[in-house]
Amino acid sequence: MKSIHQVIREHINSYYDEAVEIRRHLHRHPELSFHEKETSAYISSKLSAYGISHQTHVSGYGIVALIEGKNPEKTCVALRADMDALPIFEQSEKSYCSVNEGVMHACGHDAHSTILLIAARILQELKHEFEGSIKLLFQPAEEKLPGGAKAMIEAGVLHHPEVKAIAGLHVLPTMEAGKVGFRSGPFMASGDEVNITVKGKGGHAAMPDLINDTVLVASQIIVNLQQVASRMAPPLVPTVLSFGKIIANGAHNIIPSEVKIHGTFRTFDEVWGKKAALKIEEIARHTAEAAGAKAEVFIEKGYPVLLNDPITTEKAFESATQYLGHEHVIHIDQRMTAEDFAWYTHEVPACFFRLGTANAAEGIISGLHTPTFDIDESSLATGIGTMVSVALGLLTETR
């Protein structure tokens, strides 16, 4: 008699070509956060073809599907994938390169949706082999605040039936294809967006005595704010404050009256995060005032710390190990990146894990959010098998 893992592998072998086709279609037709209309319609059409009942237009373009096994009311676990892409111009000669100029799946959400779709097809065909229900969440807008997860939670996706545990994955281009990585406890940082506007009297750059040099003030603010992470943060609390965008729309000889600064604040301690926000505002304001200018600070609260439930993560780790083997399942470090899957982790026991997608021999090593990002498509099979195994494992353990 075949084991469940043998059955899963046989199904994956049968549907692998379809998985590649789906992933390439999604990669070729990316859509930005809150605009995933065609992506959602495509996923819905696949679910319908698989005979899986689902609801569309949940909190925008979200989709919620349900697979009922034997005794479906016994328990329910959820699996989540995100669907949106990034505003990046893809640099690729691949046949599946984005046809939507300036929009690209540079974070692997095309792979995430593909993995969940094929996992759903397999689970639908195995529904007489397990007890309970499996809820599938295809979520929009992970990449842009306020994010799609919170809105879907508010729409009630974790109820009717009540979700007892949830799992999700994310590609990791620094890990070789064929492997998955897990981390229990606080796994990913909170992420707040820092927005500072420096205002003053602009004018001719050759007459600095008659103006407030807003560009210089903005530069001083950025330098002074580095002490928030280097001197004010508790030494044992990971903290990052980085600025990635400065808009000083002057010229060689023109100092503008306004400069905008945009950055991100990350930490694993929400209490410290609130204190840091006050420090950021205080330093920016005082720095500007010392130069006769003014600084307006707006910090938009982003995603919270992602908390992997220890028991749920251990169960998922065991299920992945049983399916892939010990050599392919590893423990990984915390990450200062942020994820809106974190919202689910504050509602129900959760496990968010990473899927290796790198292939150095083939040159597939580009990082996330870069114009040359790609995946080793063999990782789709690894992700599908792991997702199915984790779902079944959580069903047997969750009451």
- Helix H or strand E encompassing 168: strand 165-176
Q: Is domain 190-303 classified as CATH 3.30.565.10?
A: no
Section 132-160 average pLDDT: 97
Span 163-194, pLDDT tens digits? 999 999 999 999 999 999 999 999 999 999 99
Section 390-396 average pLDDT: 96
User: What does the pLDDT read at residue 1?
Assistant: 79
Span 65-93, pLDDT tens digits? 999 999 999 999 999 999 999 999 999 99
Span 350-387, pLDDT tens digits? 999 999 999 999 999 999 999 999 999 999 999 999 99
Q: What's the CATH class of domain 4-188+305-397?
A: alpha beta
Span 308-365, pLDDT tens digits? 999 999 999 999 999 999 999 999 999 999 999 999 999 999 999 999 999 999 999 9
User: What does the pLDDT read at residue 398?
Assistant: 61
Whole-angstrom Cα distance, residue 285 to residue 299?
13
Residue 158 φ then ψ, to 5°:
-90, 10
How would you classify residue 96: left for phi > 0, otherwise alpha for psi between -120 and 50, otherwise beta? alpha
Span 15-69, pLDDT tens digits? 999 999 999 999 999 999 999 999 999 999 999 999 999 999 999 999 999 999 9
From 147, 3, 127, 115, select the one nearest 53 (Cα to Cα). Answer: 127
Section 227-233 average pLDDT: 97
Span 247-261, pLDDT tens digits? 999 999 999 999 999
Any idea where the domains of the chain sit in the sequence? 4-188+305-397, 190-303
Span 248-300, pLDDT tens digits? 999 999 999 999 999 999 999 999 999 999 999 999 999 999 999 999 999 99
Whole-angstrom Cα distance, residue 367 to residue 138?
24
DSSP string of 305-355, one letter each residue:
-EEE-HHHHHHHHHHHHHHH-GGGEEE---BS---TTHHHHTTS-EEEEEE
User: What does the pLDDT read at residue 64?
Assistant: 98
Q: How confident is the model at residue 5 (pLDDT cuts 50, 70, 90)?
A: very high
Q: Is 142 a catalytic residue?
A: yes
User: What does the pLDDT read at residue 4?
Assistant: 92
Q: Is 376 a catalytic residue?
A: no
Section 134-159 average pLDDT: 97
Residue 371 near residue 340 (C-beta atoms within 8 A): no
Active-site choice (82, 142, 176, 192):
142
Whole-angstrom Cα distance, residue 285 to residue 289?
6
- Within the chain, residue ranges assigned H as helices are 4-28, 37-49, 109-125, 148-154, 214-227, 270-290, 310-324, 342-345, 378-397
Mean pLDDT of the chain: 97
Active-site choice (84, 176, 309, 377):
84
User: What does the pLDDT read at residue 161?
Assistant: 97
Section 212-216 average pLDDT: 96
Q: How confident is the model at residue 116 (pLDDT cuts 50, 70, 90)?
A: very high
Whole-angstrom Cα distance, residue 355 to residue 320?
11
Whole-angstrom Cα distance, residue 326 to residue 294?
58
Q: How confident is the model at residue 2 (pLDDT cuts 50, 70, 90)?
A: confident
User: What does the pLDDT read at residue 230?
Assistant: 96
